[in-house]
């Protein structure tokens, strides 16, 4: 009688290709900025591809870069620490979502939540001249989606994916785990609005963008889910 082979273990970092591609893109952009560009060239990259609310207010002439910046800002980061934190959260929350909805829908989800993040930031700070950078808005959207799935993960297929049907909003607020997560998440972001946890380099945490992305992911997740 043949002896059944032991089932192969799931790799520790079994990330979907689309998540790996986004991480590589973010890291690659940062490497180019740090190692290949002069400070002046890097400053020009920030002016062109970061989201600067003041650019869209008043009588400023909008060029092609101004229309790309609400998306390209997500691939720019304020430093290695900022990039590392976003990479970790992207892997943690992006992987089960990408495995659930597929690569194309995941990229659309990234784009929509990134736009929602800058939209709320702009509404609250239309005259702000400080550049907004980082993938935190899109990642916050993934956290919002996780709450709608009740954090249920299916690993039976060898790839961790959000499982089950999407919870209605009343069902989310009936879940103790989801309510606890939402309360802690919003408390941390409101605390950031008062300067707690700000980076040591003098930068600020764009908590408004986080909330904009989170709300978009929380409210629009059903639109990106695949028919089952």
User: Across-strand partners of 51?
Assistant: 132
Give the helix/strand (H/E) hosting 106.
helix 103-124
What are the residue boundaries of the structural domains of the chain, listed by start?
17-224
Closest CA to 149 of 217, 74, 67: 217
> CB of 172 within 8 A of CB of 185?
no
Q: Which residue has the higher pLDDT, 94 or 4?
A: 94
> Looking at residue 228, what is its pLDDT?
62
- pLDDT interval class at 134 (50, 70, 90): very high
- Distance, CA of 218 to CA of 30 (rounded, Å): 29
- Distance, CA of 58 to CA of 63 (rounded, Å): 14
> CB of 16 within 8 A of CB of 103?
yes
Lowest mean pLDDT among 13-22, 77-86, 192-201: 192-201
Q: Which residue has the higher pLDDT, 31 or 199?
A: 31
> Looking at residue 193, what is its pLDDT?
60
- pLDDT interval class at 27 (50, 70, 90): very high
Q: Identify the architecture of domain 17-224 in CATH.
A: Up-down Bundle (1.20)
In the chain, what is the greatest distance between 2 CA atoms, to the nearest angstrom? 81
The pTM for the full model equals: 0.89
Tell me if residue 162 falls in helix, strand or coil.
Answer: strand
pLDDT value at 2 more than 70: no
Tell me whether residue 127 is exposed, middle or buried, using C-beta atoms within 10 angstroms of its C-beta: 0 to 12, 13 to 18, 19 or more.
exposed
What is the token pair recorded at 137? 């808005």
> Looking at residue 192, what is its pLDDT?
66
> Looking at residue 1, what is its pLDDT?
41
- pLDDT interval class at 119 (50, 70, 90): very high
């Amino acid at each position: 009688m043949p002896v059944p082979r032991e089932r192969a273990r799931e790799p520790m970092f079994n990330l979907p290709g689309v998540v790996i591609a986004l991480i590589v893109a973010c890291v690659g952009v940062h490497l180019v900025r740090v190692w290949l560009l002069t400070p002046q060239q890097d400053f020009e990259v920030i002016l062109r591809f970061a989201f600067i609310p003041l650019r869209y207010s008043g009588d400023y002439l909008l060029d092609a870069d101004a229309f790309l910046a609400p998306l390209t800002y997500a691939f720019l980061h304020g430093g290695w620490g900022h990039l590392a934190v976003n990479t970790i959260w992207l892997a943690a929350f992006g992987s089960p979502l990408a495995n659930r909805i597929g690569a194309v829908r995941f990229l659309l989800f990234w784009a929509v939540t990134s736009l929602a993040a800058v939209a709320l930031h702009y509404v609250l700070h239309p005259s702000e001249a400080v550049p907004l950078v980082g993938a935190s808005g899109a990642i916050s959207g993934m956290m919002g989606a996780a709450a709608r799935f009740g954090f249920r993960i299916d690993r039976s297929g060898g790839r961790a994916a959000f499982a089950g049907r999407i919870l209605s909003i009343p069902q989310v607020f009936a879940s103790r785990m989801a309510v606890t997560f939402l309360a802690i998440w919003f408390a941390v972001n409101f605390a950031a609005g008062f300067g707690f946890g700000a980076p040591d380099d003098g930068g600020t945490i764009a908590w408004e963008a986080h909330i904009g992305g989170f709300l978009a992911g929380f409210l629009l997740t059903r639109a990106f889910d695949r028919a089952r």
